[in-house]
Structure 1
Amino acid sequence: MSLSKPTRRRHAHRRTIIADGYEREDGLWDIEARMTDVKSETVDNPERGGYVASGEAFHDMKLRLTLDRTLLIHEVEAVIDESPFTMCPGAVHIFKRLEGTRIGPGWQRKAKDLVGGAQGCTHLHELLPVLATTTVQSLWPSMEEDVMTAGSKIMLNTCRTWAQDSDVIRRYVPDLYNPEPAD
Structure 2
Amino acid sequence: MERDLLHTRRIEIHGYKRADGLYDIEGTLTDTKAYDRTSNGVVRRAGEPIHAMKLRITLGKDFLITDAHAEAPSLPYAGHCDDAPPVYAKLIGMTLAPGFMREVRERFGGVKGCTHLTELIGAVATVAFQTMSEELNASNDARPFQLDGCIALRTDGAAVQRFYPAWYRGGAAKVE
TM-score class normalised by the smaller sequence: 0.7 to 0.9
Q: Is residue 22 from structure 1 mapped to residue 13 from structure 2 by the alignment?
A: no
Q: Secondary structure at the match of 1:10?
A: coil
Q: Is residue 9 from structure 1 mapped to residue 3 from structure 2 by the alignment?
A: yes
Candidates 36, 39, 42, aligned match of 1:45? 39
Q: CA RMSD in A?
A: 2.2
After superposition, what is the alpha-carbon deviation per residue over 1:66-107, rounded to whole angstroms, capped at 9, x for unaligned?
A: 001111100000001111112112111221111111112111
Show the 5 A alignment for 1:158-177.
158-171=149-162, 172=164, 175=167, 177=169
How far did 1:149 drift?
2.1
1:4 aligned partner: none
| TM-score normalised to structure 2 length | 0.86
Show the 5 A alignment for 1:68-107.
68-86=60-78, 87-107=80-100
Letter in 1 for 2:48: E
Q: Is the 8 A contact 1:21 1:134 kept in 2?
A: yes
Inter-partner Cα distance in structure 2 for 1:24 and 1:58: 32
Q: Gapped runs of 5+ residues in structure 2?
A: none
How far did 1:140 drift?
1.1
Aligned length: 169
Q: 1:98 to 1:8 in 2, by over 3 A?
A: same
2:116 aligned partner: 123
Q: Is the 8 A contact 1:63 1:124 kept in 2?
A: yes
Q: Secondary structure at the match of 1:151?
A: coil
Percent identical among aligned pairs is 31
How far did 1:135 drift?
0.5
Q: Secondary structure at the match of 2:145?
A: helix
Report the more deviating stretch, 161-170 or 15-24.
161-170
After superposition, what is the alpha-carbon deviation per residue over 1:4-42, rounded to whole angstroms, capped at 9, x for unaligned?
A: xxx211111111110000111111110010010110011
How far did 1:127 drift?
0.8
How far did 1:147 drift?
9.5
Inter-partner Cα distance in structure 1 for 2:111 and 2:170: 39
Q: 1:148 to 1:14 in 2, by over 3 A?
A: farther
1:114 aligned partner: 107
Inter-partner Cα distance in structure 1 for 2:48 and 2:141: 42
Q: Secondary structure at the match of 2:94?
A: coil
| TM-score normalised to structure 1 length | 0.83
Q: 1:118 to 1:65 in 2, by over 3 A?
A: same
